[in-house]
Amino acid sequence: MRVDIISIFPEYFAPLDVSLIGKARHKGLLDIRLHQLREWTHDVHRTVDDTPYGGGPGMVMKPEPWGQAIDAVIAEESTPPRLIVPTPSGRPFTQEVALEYAKEPWLLFAPARYEGIDSRVMAEYGPRLRVDEVSIGDYVLAGGEAAVLVIVEAVGRLLPGVLGNAGSVADDSFAPGAMAGLLEGPVYTKPPVWRGHEVPAILLSGNHGAIARWRRDEALRRTAAKRPELAARLAGQALDKRDREVLDQVSHPGDAPAAETT
Ligand code: ADE
C-alpha cells in the first residue's frame, strides 16, 4: 500500500519508522511518503492559513497550497488515491473503516492545523478522490497529525504480511467473527503466580473447549461492564444460552450464584 501524508509538520511522523509499521516499511509492504505543505506556498512567510470569512476565532488553512500539493501528489500515478481528511466533525473512524481502507492501494492524508481546511478543497476533490472526513473520537486534538498516526497504525497492521500471527487480526475485539462486538477479556503469561496473584486455573488445564468458553464469558462480562451500549447490540445476535446467562448475571448480580470461573 502507498500512503502519502501532506502536513506542515512532516517530522511529526517519525514514529512511523518504529516497530510494526517501521518493519512493514522496511519489508516494502507499506510505502509512506511525507510532504511539507509549505513547499506549495509562494510568499516569503510560506503562509498556509488566513482569517475565517464570516469572522470567528482561529485561522483557516488556505485552499491554494492544499490544491497544488494534492495535484502534485496525485499526478504521480494514473489511478487516484483515496483522500482522507481527519477532523473532529468527520464520520467515526472504526475497525470497519480501517478494514475498508486496508483494501485501498493508495491513501492520501491531509491533516489540518488551526480551525481546519477551507471547505472548497473537499468540494474540489470530493467524488474524484472519494474524500473521507473522519474523526478518531469525540475530543479535539491540536491538529490532524496524531489522528493520521492512529489511522495508519490501525490500517497498516491489517495489511497482509504485516502481523506475524494472522490470528491476531481475526481475534480483534471489533473484527467480524465469533467474537465480533466483544471486548477482549484478560490475558496472562508466565509465571503462574506473580506477587501472590494466580493465573486462572482453567488456562493451565489444557482443556481447549473449556478455555474458549471461559474466554468468551470474560469477554461478555467485560463488554457488559465497560461498554453497555456494545453489549446491548449483542442482544440481536447469535447468543447461546450460556452467553445470555453471563450477560444476565452482569446486569442483575444478585439474582444468581456467581458464575464459575475456574
Ligand atoms: N483533528 C482534531 N481533532 C480530531 C479528531 N478527534 N479526529 C480526527 N482529527 C482531528
pLDDT value, residue 259 = 52
Q: What pTM value is reported for the model?
A: 0.93
**Rounded to the nearest whole angstrom, what is the distance from the C-alpha of residue 133 to the centroid of ligand 1?**
10
Mean pLDDT confidence for 169-191? 85
pLDDT value, residue 237 = 78
The atom of ligand 1 lying closest to the CA of 142 is 2
Indicate if the pLDDT at residue 18 is higher than 90: yes
Residues 6+ apart with CB under 8 A from 195: none
By CB neighbour count within 10 A (0-12 exposed, 13-18 middle, 19+ buried), where does 240 fall?
A: exposed
Residues 208-252: tens digit of each pLDDT? 999 999 999 999 999 999 999 999 998 877 899 999 999 999 888
Residues 46, 157, 213, 227: which is the catalytic one?
Answer: 157
Residues 49-84: tens digit of each pLDDT? 999 999 999 999 999 999 999 999 999 999 999 999
Indicate if the pLDDT at residue 253 is higher than 80: yes
**Rounded to the nearest whole angstrom, what is the distance from the C-alpha of residue 61 to the centroid of ligand 1?**
15
Q: Which range has the worst mean pLDDT, 44-48, 125-129, 175-179, 203-207?
A: 175-179
Contact assessment for residue 242 and residue 213, using Cβ atoms and an 8 Å cutoff: yes
Q: Which range has the worst mean pLDDT, 83-92, 106-115, 173-182, 231-240?
A: 173-182
Q: Which three cell numbers stand for residue 244?
A: 445470555
115 is catalytic: yes
Residues with CB under 6 A from ligand 1: 86-88, 135-137, 139-141, 144, 147
Pick out the residues of the known binding site.
136-141
pLDDT value, residue 166 = 65
Residues 64, 115, 124, 245: which is the catalytic one?
Answer: 115
Indicate if the pLDDT at residue 176 is higher than 80: no
DSSP 178-209: TTTT--------S-SEETTEEPPGGGGS--HH
Indicate if the pLDDT at residue 261 is higher than 60: no
**Rounded to the nearest whole angstrom, what is the distance from the C-alpha of residue 147 to the centroid of ligand 1?**
6
Indicate if the pLDDT at residue 256 is higher than 70: no
Number of residues assigned to the chain: 262
128 is catalytic: no
pLDDT value, residue 164 = 82
